Amino acid sequence: MPTFRVLLSSEQIQKRVEELGATIDRDYPAGEPVYLIGVLKGAFMFLADLARATKVPARIEFIGISSYGKGTTTSGQVRLTKDLDVPIEGCHVILVEDILDTGLTLTYLVQLMKQRRPKSLRIAALLDKPDRRKVEVHADYVGFQIPDEFVVGYGLDCVEDYRNLKDVCVLEA
């Protein structure tokens, strides 16, 4: 059985997500809808909590990306597995990602989103591992900076397991 070391407790996460929601409230003009686009699958829980933490009229969409293959090390390849269901031209968009690691995924997604001509485009990432960055990416809303350790829980998996843990944990062998 693997052991889990809690890195960020559910309480810490909820408190921080509330703060991010309040910041988003301040950043967007009242009344204008904002597309919260969750990057599948890891961001689903963060997206659900962030959507409830903000008062902006949110519209929820998902985009599917595959970058990690089946292990815990990056393949360096980014592939679109599910596109948006709606056009986002002229709309405010926040890309909602679980973790910013090398930056390759978000660089790819930002490029893709920009081609669709949104009115504005910002990035929310629950976690940021700055030590791992290969390409520079600016995230507008970051939950926590964490060290270079492989984490699971709160949406994040290891070969599809552990996504439903409430805390973000380091997976220890």
Q: Which is nearer to ligand 5GP, 30 or 173 (CB)?
A: 173
CB of 29 to ligand 5GP, least distance (A): 29
Question: Taking a C-beta distance cutoff of 8 angstroms, is the pair 154, 165 a contact?
Answer: yes
Q: Which is nearer to ligand 5GP, 54 or 105 (CB)?
A: 105
Question: Taking a C-beta distance cutoff of 8 angstroms, is the pair 62, 82 a contact?
Answer: yes
Q: Which is nearer to ligand 5GP, 34 or 98 (CB)?
A: 98
Tell me which residues touch ligand 5GP (CB under 6 A): 42, 67-68, 74, 97-105, 150-152, 156-158
CB of 136 to ligand 5GP, least distance (A): 12
Catalytic: 101? Answer: yes
Question: Taking a C-beta distance cutoff of 8 angstroms, is the pair 38, 44 a contact?
Answer: yes
- Give CA–CA dist 155/52, Å, rounded: 16
- Give CA–CA dist 54/93, Å, rounded: 14
Token pair 């929820």 is found at 60
CB of 148 to ligand 5GP, least distance (A): 8
Q: What is the DSSP string of 91-106?
A: SEEEEEEEEESSSHHH
The residue from 101, 131, 148, 167 that is catalytic is: 101
Catalytic residue numbers read: 101
